Amino acid sequence: MPVPTPSQFAAILDTAQRGDYALASINVTSTNSANAALAAFAETKTDGIIQFSTGGAEFVSGPAKDMALGAISLAEHVHRIAEKLDVYIALTTDHCVPEKLDKFVRPLIANEEARKAAGLRNLFNGFMFDGSELPMNKNLEIAQELLAKMAPLGVILEVEVGLVGGEEDGIDREGIENDKLYTSPEDMVLAYELLHKLGRFTLAATFGNVHGVYKPGNVKLKPTILRDGQDAVQAKYGKDAKLDLVFHGGSGSLLEEIHETLEYGVVKMNVDTDCQYAFTRPIVDHMMKNYDGVLRIDGEMGNKKVYDPRSYLKKAETGMKDRIITAATDLKSLGKTVFSK
Sign of CA dihedral 70, 154, 78, 329: positive
DSSP assignments along 50-64, one per residue: EEE-HHHHHHHTGGG
What are the angstrom distances between the C-alpha of 48 and each of 9, 51, 206, 271, 274?
Answer: 10, 10, 22, 11, 16
What 3-state class would DSSP assign to 24? strand
**50-84 b/e with 16+ CB inside 10 Å = b?**
bbbbbbbbbbbbeeeebbbbbbbbbbebbbebbee
By C-alpha distance, which of 277, 327, 316 is closest to 36?
Answer: 316
Q: What is the DSSP letter of 23?
A: E
* 24 closest CA partner among 224, 272, 282: 272
Find the radius of gyration of the CA atoms of the chain.
20
244 is catalytic: no
CA angle 17, 236, 144 (to 5 degrees): 70
Catalytic residue among 14, 47, 66, 94: 94
Task: In whole angstroms, give the CA distance from residue 316 to residue 326.
Answer: 16
Q: What is the dihedral of CA 215, 203, 246, 124, to 10 degrees?
A: -130
End-to-end CA gap in the chain: 10
112 exposed, middle or buried (CB, 10 Å; 0-12, 13-18, 19+)?
Answer: buried
| Cα 162 from chain centroid (whole Å) | 17
CA distance 22 to 160: 18
Catalytic residues: 94
